[in-house]
């Protein structure tokens, strides 16, 4: 993979911490910085995908009511723990 140089300014204490961590890892500060940037970009891409999936699910119009979620969560760590609730607010349902 081709690489390119990137120059940036960081706080002196952050640079010191990065260099200290690099020594601990027996890596260069640049290597650690690249890994941190890769992780941040991967996390953000995963978050965007999760949001896209949640929007697609919400667009279907089926939801789990607050009452059903509350009952489920309240049952955690009890003798009568409930299974995860199924959607109970569906498209075309009349509001009561």
List, for residues 83-96, the tens digit of each pLDDT value.
999 999 888 776 55
The model scores a pTM over 0.75: no
Task: Show me where the domains of the chain are located.
Answer: 12-59, 61-96
Give CA–CA dist 57/5, Å, rounded: 41
List, for residues 48-83, the tens digit of each pLDDT value.
999 999 999 889 888 999 999 999 999 999 999 999
List, for residues 12-62, the tens digit of each pLDDT value.
999 999 999 999 999 999 999 999 999 999 999 999 999 999 999 889 888
Q: Partners of 63 in the beta sheet? A: 89
Taken in order 45, 48, 54, 55, the sign of the CA dihedral is negative
Q: Are 89 and 63 in contact (CB under 8 A)?
A: yes
Give CA–CA dist 64/69, Å, rounded: 7
């Amino acid at each position: 993979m081709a690489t390119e140089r990137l120059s940036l300014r960081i706080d002196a204490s952050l640079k010191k911490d990065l260099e200290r961590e690099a020594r601990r890892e027996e890596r260069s500060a640049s290597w650690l910085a690249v890994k941190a940037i890769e992780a941040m970009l991967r996390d953000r891409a995963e978050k965007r995908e999760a949001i896209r999936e949640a929007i697609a699910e919400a667009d279907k119009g089926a939801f789990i009511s607050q009452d059903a979620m509350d009952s489920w969560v309240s049952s955690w760590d009890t003798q009568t723990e409930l299974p995860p609730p199924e959607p109970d607010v569906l498209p075309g349902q009349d509001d009561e």
